[in-house]
Structure 1
Amino acid sequence: MFNLNINGMLPKNMEDRGKLILRDNLKEIEEILNHRTIPKNGLDDEKIKIFLKLLSLMDTDKDPKAIRIGEREGRISSKIQEELVSGFCHGVGRSGNLIDPQPKAPGASVMYKLTNNILKSFLKNLGLNVYSIATPVATGMSIALCLSAARKKYNSNVAIYPYAAHKSPIKAVSFAGLRMRLVETKLYEDAVKVDVGDIEDAIKKEIKSNNNPCVLSTLTFFPPRESDDIEEIAKICDEYNIPHIINGAYAIQNKFYINKLNKAFKYRVDAVVSSSDKNLLTPIGGGIVYSKNKEFLNEVSFCYPGRACATPIVTMLVSMLSLGLNKYLELMKKQKESRKLLNNLLKELAEKTNNKVLNIKNPISLGITVGSNPVEIAGKLYNLRITGPRGIMSSDKFGNCYLGNYPYNYVVMNAAIGVKNKDIIVAVERLKNVIS
């Protein structure tokens, strides 16, 4: 396609050597396009920039001979704007379908298709043999797209929600135009969770009332709320033939959640939604929707209104190309080690301060009881430049996902993917200073 003609400009041995170096530098980019899978080892930033630049030069706003008279022509007022979207000023998708190629954006269309191919291979390498699409909106809006698809494809009009105190999925139900039926949580020693039998009862009541329910379950959440039993929920949804959407915001980064998903996928799971920033270390703004049901994913794509900004898609592609599979697997391993370190440090602190670490099944987060106001403790940590901890009062019904008082005031701390052990050590040390 591009012939670098430097014949006669250099001695032949220098010319051959230069072309050899150039070919080797471009070989990784060529292999990405040929194989369309996540590379084992990540690419350096300069190669990724070259790759994105080459693709963006295919879009019509880069055509030096184009006569651009439409209302959407990728016109920009500043070069900064072009840099922010990595050159893909036309965005991705079409008004009728998010994943359709866009005539004015051949390069962006290739970039988006490639992102989805690499995302599928990435998930497969983690043990999730699924179809997937990258969405240009964060978790809550991605859930809303899935609920809209359930409404369109299966006439769902009620979302049965095993209650988790998270505003995004609650708003997503309303945004998608469904009525919500909450299924209340119960207390099991330290853990707060929802009884599967109560979920089935809610399904029966809605069906008896001639409604078409779907279930929006929660896989990942903060202590003391434990994961929903998504395998049993999937069995029930299979039995009653109703859609099942799973909120797995940070499910990709740990095998604990991946194993749960694989068990659920044997039954009825229409889609799982995960966050790009929580799993792929991107800026906030992108979602990952995946499923065994390719047809349902297409329906999710159909539900997106209009074109979309390319930036959230680009950031996912950049993360996968930059990290590569091997580095991501190493980060997963370090995350488990960091979680173990956090657990040990919090247990030591609990013993010294007459508190306890909550006994909750969660591979990312831990909760420690505190004797004073946990909201004030979290505020003090924030002022000490520790971001992330959540302080919850025992009387906070929303925070505890529980109708009655929770037995303890507590602070939640996390050891998510990408965290550094030295930061965990400092965070627990400063927690010790503010609760002592």
Structure 2
Amino acid sequence: MIDLNISGIIPKNMENRGKLVLNDNLKNIEDIFNHRVIPKQAMSDEEIELFLKLLSLMDTDKDPKSIRIGEREARTSSNIHNRLVSGFCHGVGRSGNLIDPQPKAPGASVMYSLTNSILTSFLKKLGLNVSAIATPIATGMSISLCLSALRKKYGCNTVIYPYAAHKSPIKAVSFSGLKMRLVETVLSEDGESVFVPVEDIENAIKKEINKNDKYGDSNIYTTKYNINNKKEIPCVLSTLTFFPPRKSDDIVEIAKICEEYNIPHIINGAYAIQNQYYIDRLKKAFKYRVDAVISSSDKNLLTPIGGGIIYSKDKEFINEISKTYPGRACATPIVNTLVSLLSIGLNNYKELMKQQKESRKLLHDLLVELANNTNNKVLNIDSPLSICITTNSDPVEIAGKLYNLRITGPRGVRSSDKFGNCYLGNFPYDYVVMNAAIGIKNKDIINAVDKLKYSMAKNKNIMSGEKNGNNYCNSIR
């Protein structure tokens, strides 16, 4: 990859030996440039840092002979800035398109293009035949990009949202300037989960289409809606991944309905990539109408928060989405996605998926045992990541105790909490949600359930500083 002329400096046998070592160390970097797919084996931190350094040295702010007189020349006040963005101070994209090459940043432009190629190859290896881009914004804002693209391309004016009690998607709709029609959840027959019936979603679609049909077509409910007539039309924002007791939307049936009525369909799959259960549902949904799926880089690829992943079977629509981003973007979230893909590698990621599945089973078994011993129950909800256990004492207080015991993540919800339960009226149970997401360790699950057992104890004063409570806390830390 790099032809260094060191002839005559050291003995020939030493020169050949040194070049052999150098070339082996550069081989993985060379493979990334040549093949542009996720490596099977993880790359070392040293290899990744060298790779990023080589690319960042291509940007114009690294040119020692450059005369920089623009208003934006990647001038920084501290070397800390350079380290935080891995040297890509010019960022990525141009004012008109997130994925457009940036003249002042050849290296960053190559880095971003490679990231998207590697990300696409990664999803294909997991079984999703899609095109993908990494976004420099998290899930909620990435949803906004998709909705803005739908508004521009199809004239969408209303988002039909099967209600999930999550502020980010709701704010994303508002941020995009679209109206929202909520479709409320209902309680399942066994009383242990809430969901949005597919027929209610279809009825909401019909009502929106009928409202926007100025010609009053009497067959509007039974015929496909023609988006080419330039009328304002609705779109659907469904939810694949969410906390129990809210079940996942039936994205396959929704995709069929959206195909029938010819309206756009966006899926919020925030943590969908890490589990085969979600991937299989996406594969089935992609056979029908799915315009794009949004996932989180931190939830799936173990990056710091701040990046998103948007993928679709329609490569041209991905390009349309990138055009909705105003201005350039910070390179750091993109670099974080690239670093994770290279540092984990395909084989290790599949192993992490396997471990996540095993950890979820361990969490289930421990919570069932705890429920049996405390006259509670584990709710019957089909989630490959999260589990609900009912509680006979205040779940919010229990979650607070867990937080004070250094357990982050569990969520306590009272039966009367409409927002938390996504349900009109009281839910039958107070409950605590616990998760087994990718990257979790079995020892952490064991310790968390042990402290949950303590937090569910009947002594309400145990956390007030009493001696027996402090001794117990120390014994289980």
Does residue 326 (structure 1) correspond to residue 328 (structure 2)? The answer is no
Deviation at 1:100, TM superposition (A): 0.6
Deviation at 1:59, TM superposition (A): 0.2
Separation in 1, partners of 2:401, 2:90: 45
Consecutive aligned runs of 4 or more in structure 1 exceeding 3 Å deviation = none
Supply the AA of the counterpart residue of 1:209. Answer: K
Deviation at 1:235, TM superposition (A): 0.6
Separation in 2, partners of 1:8, 1:110: 35
Does residue 57 (structure 1) correspond to residue 61 (structure 2)? The answer is no
Deviation at 1:3, TM superposition (A): 3.6
1:203-262: per-residue Cα shift (whole Å, max 9, x none)?
Answer: 111111114100000000000000000011001111111110000000000010001001
DSSP 3-state at the match of 2:182: strand
DSSP 3-state at the match of 1:209: helix
Separation in 1, partners of 2:336, 2:247: 31
DSSP 3-state at the match of 1:225: coil
Supply the AA of the counterpart residue of 1:51. Answer: F
Supply the AA of the counterpart residue of 2:298. Answer: D
Deviation at 1:298, TM superposition (A): 0.8
Counterpart in the other structure of 2:371: 350
Matches within 5 A, 1:74-223: 74-188=74-188, 189=190, 190-210=192-212, 211-223=232-244
Supply the AA of the counterpart residue of 2:178. Answer: L
- 226-235 or 2-11: which moved more? 2-11
Separation in 2, partners of 1:31, 1:294: 25
- Give the RMSD, CA atoms, in angstroms: 0.7
Separation in 2, partners of 1:112, 1:301: 13
Deviation at 1:144, TM superposition (A): 0.5
Identity of aligned residues (%): 77
Counterpart in the other structure of 1:312: 333
Counterpart in the other structure of 1:297: 318
Does residue 377 (structure 1) correspond to residue 398 (structure 2)? The answer is yes
Separation in 1, partners of 2:78, 2:285: 48
Separation in 1, partners of 2:234, 2:94: 30
Separation in 2, partners of 1:367, 1:146: 32
Separation in 1, partners of 2:201, 2:23: 59
Supply the AA of the counterpart residue of 1:200. Answer: E
Deviation at 1:5, TM superposition (A): 1.7
Counterpart in the other structure of 1:340: 361
Supply the AA of the counterpart residue of 1:428. Answer: V
Give ranges in structure 1 of 5+ residues lacking alignment.
none
1:74-102: per-residue Cα shift (whole Å, max 9, x none)?
Answer: 00000001000000000000000000110
Counterpart in the other structure of 2:283: 262
Deviation at 1:294, TM superposition (A): 1.0
Deviation at 1:365, TM superposition (A): 0.2
Q: TM-score, with normalisation over the residues of structure 2? A: 0.91
Supply the AA of the counterpart residue of 2:164. Answer: A
1:99-146: per-residue Cα shift (whole Å, max 9, x none)?
Answer: 011000000000000000000110011111101110000000000000
Supply the AA of the counterpart residue of 2:420. Answer: G
Separation in 1, partners of 2:140, 2:132: 17
Supply the AA of the counterpart residue of 1:331. Answer: L
DSSP 3-state at the match of 1:303: coil
Supply the AA of the counterpart residue of 1:90. Answer: H
Supply the AA of the counterpart residue of 1:32. Answer: I
Counterpart in the other structure of 1:42: 42
Alignment counterpart, residue 237 of structure 1, candidates 254, 258, 262: 258
DSSP 3-state at the match of 1:157: strand
Q: TM-score, with normalisation over the residues of structure 1? A: 0.99
Deviation at 1:335, TM superposition (A): 0.1
Which has more radius of gyration? 2
Counterpart in the other structure of 1:27: 27
Separation in 1, partners of 2:326, 2:349: 33
Separation in 1, partners of 2:253, 2:89: 45
DSSP 3-state at the match of 2:156: coil
Aligned residues: 436
Separation in 1, partners of 2:181, 2:346: 40
Deviation at 1:2, TM superposition (A): 4.8
DSSP 3-state at the match of 1:391: strand
Counterpart in the other structure of 2:475: none
